[in-house]
Homo-oligomer: A and B are copies of this chain.
Amino acid sequence: MRKVAIAGVGHTPFTFAADKSSVELFAEAAMDAITESGIAAKEVQAINVGNVLGDFSEGQAMIQSYIADEIGAFNAPATRFEGACASASLAIRDAFMWVASGFYDIVLAGGVETSAKMGTPLATRTFAMAHDAHYEYPVGLTFPGFFAMLANLYTAKYDVPLDRLKHQMAQVSVQAHKYGVYNKYAQFHKEISVEDVLKGFMVCSPLQLLDCCPFSDGAAAMIICSEDVAKKLTRTPVYITGVGQASSGKLSAQKDYAPRIRAREVSVKQAYDMAGIGPKDVDICELHDCFSIASIIAAESLGFADYGKGGELWETGECDRGGRIPINMSGGLKSKGHPIGATGASQVVDIVHQMRGEVEPERQVEGIKIGLTDTLGGDGVLCNMVLEKGW
């Protein structure tokens, strides 16, 4: 296995309804990654794209082929990955494997979505197709409902009073906005308070409006290459040293395990083991905060807190800047935004920017060597990546 590096990255603003197509948005992020890497588009040997709802938002399937054409990598093999919110992470993990194994030296990977364009009602209904379509979606399960159930299970299983959990959840959202306000790529540039969260309208009890991330339009992409190539292209390579992926099936298949998502524990162990590290070695983490409760659950399975104690990371500031494990210094899905098929790539790009010291001073974490990304697709596709600073 060869060492695999990220040589260049690109990221569009995450926005409400964009005035560009998905092909154009991806091309924008891709051309930034290509330019930053100092290569020509025709040197891209393969293209991996995460995209979920393009068929519905723009009537565009098989988007990868049009992207290859748009960026000037005509005839490159191009592949679309769909694993709900984890789509871009699957695309990146695959690119990692292709480069690690020597099939390719230079792969463009990332994701794109224009889910804000669709409007929340249609996006919520179409995106709910990433639940089991035959038993669970037909009884009304959408993602707010799924995570509301996990929150209710959480209070019961870990004996955390609902009031306290709701306060912890609110703090998750408050911290996300505290950093998103500085992120130039973020959709929301507005600080919020615990009171704002707790007075928001109820989406699905106990989740209120500000417990929920938005639908967003945007893209993120990167050039993934071999160590040899990276050393020629950049002085600041970020290495992908561990990857993991697992899936869990529908909610009812997970019921003995919930609110833990078993796939996450399987996936992150793969990534940690491959990288030869553990949770204590992680200096910064971007995790999948599609709903505030999701952050708490994720932090536990990633090994940053005991089960039932995840919310304390936000209560104590342990996962704040300057704390033991800074989480979602980008603003996360909550404040940065959540263009579904692009989110996994955005997480990686932000950690690369952090390692290079290129993010806004108010959210820059110092002394980062190791980063972790965590992306949850639907109710059970998990992907994790360990990133290491290479200089």
Complex alpha-carbon distance, A225 and B55, angstroms: 33
User: Are the CB atoms of B55 and A56 closer together than 8 Å?
Assistant: yes
Smallest CB–CB gap between A207 and chain B, Å?
Answer: 22
Q: A161 at interface (Cβ–Cβ under 8 A)?
A: no
Q: Mark A328-355, 1 if CB is under 8 A from B, else 0.
A: 0000000000000000000000000000
User: Could you say which interface size class chain A belongs to?
Assistant: 35 or more
Kindly name the residue among A47, A244, A245, A247 whose own CB sees the greatest number of chain B CB atoms within 10 A.
A247
User: Are the CB atoms of A61 and B246 closer together than 8 Å?
Assistant: no
Complex alpha-carbon distance, A66 and B254, angstroms: 12
Complex alpha-carbon distance, A354 and B101, angstroms: 32
Given A21-B134, A249-B70, A262-B75, the answer on whether A82 and B84 have CB atoms closer than 8 Å is no
Q: A60 at interface (Cβ–Cβ under 8 A)?
A: yes
Q: A139 at interface (Cβ–Cβ under 8 A)?
A: no
Q: A133 at interface (Cβ–Cβ under 8 A)?
A: yes
Q: A58 at interface (Cβ–Cβ under 8 A)?
A: yes
User: Are the CB atoms of B249 and A68 closer together than 8 Å?
Assistant: yes
Complex alpha-carbon distance, A379 and B46, angstroms: 18
User: Are the CB atoms of B102 and A65 closer together than 8 Å?
Assistant: no
User: Are the CB atoms of B66 and A250 closer together than 8 Å?
Assistant: yes
User: Are the CB atoms of B133 and A245 closer together than 8 Å?
Assistant: no
Q: A181 at interface (Cβ–Cβ under 8 A)?
A: no
Instruction: For A46, list chain B residues within 8 Å (CB).
Output: 245
User: Are the CB atoms of B263 and A69 closer together than 8 Å?
Assistant: no
Q: Which segment of A92-100, A189-197, A275-283, A294-302 sits at the interface?
A: A92-100
User: Are the CB atoms of A61 and B134 closer together than 8 Å?
Assistant: no
Give the residue name and chain of the B residue nearest to A90 (CB): B79
Smallest CB–CB gap between A246 and chain B, Å?
Answer: 5
Complex alpha-carbon distance, A1 and B247, angstroms: 27
Instruction: For A146, list chain B residues within 8 Å (CB).
Output: none
Instruction: For A69, list chain B residues within 8 Å (CB).
Output: 247-250, 253, 380
Complex alpha-carbon distance, A55 and B51, angstroms: 13
Smallest CB–CB gap between A39 and chain B, Å?
Answer: 19
Q: A103 at interface (Cβ–Cβ under 8 A)?
A: yes
Given A59-B129, A61-B82, A97-B98, the answer on whether A75 and B381 have CB atoms closer than 8 Å is no
Q: Mark A59-83, 1 if CB is under 8 A from B, else 0.
A: 1111011101110001111111111
Q: A169 at interface (Cβ–Cβ under 8 A)?
A: no
Taking a contact as CB atoms closer than 8 A, the residue among B23, B81, B103, B377 that contacts A134 in the complex is: B23
Kindly name the residue among A66, A103, A377 whose own CB sees the greatest number of chain B CB atoms within 10 A.
A66
Q: Mark A233-244, 1 if CB is under 8 A from B, else 0.
A: 000000000001
Complex alpha-carbon distance, A75 and B381, angstroms: 9
Given A56-B55, A94-B94, the answer on whether A130 and B75 have CB atoms closer than 8 Å is no
Instruction: For A58, list chain B residues within 8 Å (CB).
Output: 133-134
Give the residue name and chain of the B residue nearest to A21 (CB): B134
- List 11 A-B residue pairs with CB atoms under 8 Å apart, sorted by A's residue number: A23-B134, A47-B247, A61-B84, A62-B378, A65-B378, A74-B253, A75-B266, A77-B246, A79-B81, A101-B102, A101-B103
Q: Tell me the A residues contacting B by CB distance below 8 Å.
A: 1, 21, 23, 46-47, 52, 55-56, 58-62, 64-66, 68-70, 74-84, 90, 94, 97-98, 100-103, 126-127, 129-130, 132-134, 137, 244-250, 253, 262-263, 266-267, 377-381
In addition to A21-B134, A77-B244, 14 A-B residue pairs with Cβ atoms within 8 Å of each other are A1-B101, A23-B134, A62-B82, A62-B83, A65-B247, A65-B249, A65-B377, A66-B249, A69-B253, A79-B90, A79-B94, A81-B82, A100-B101, A101-B102
For the complex of A and B, the 4 pairs showing the least CB-CB separation, nearest first, are: A69-B249, A101-B101, A77-B245, A60-B133
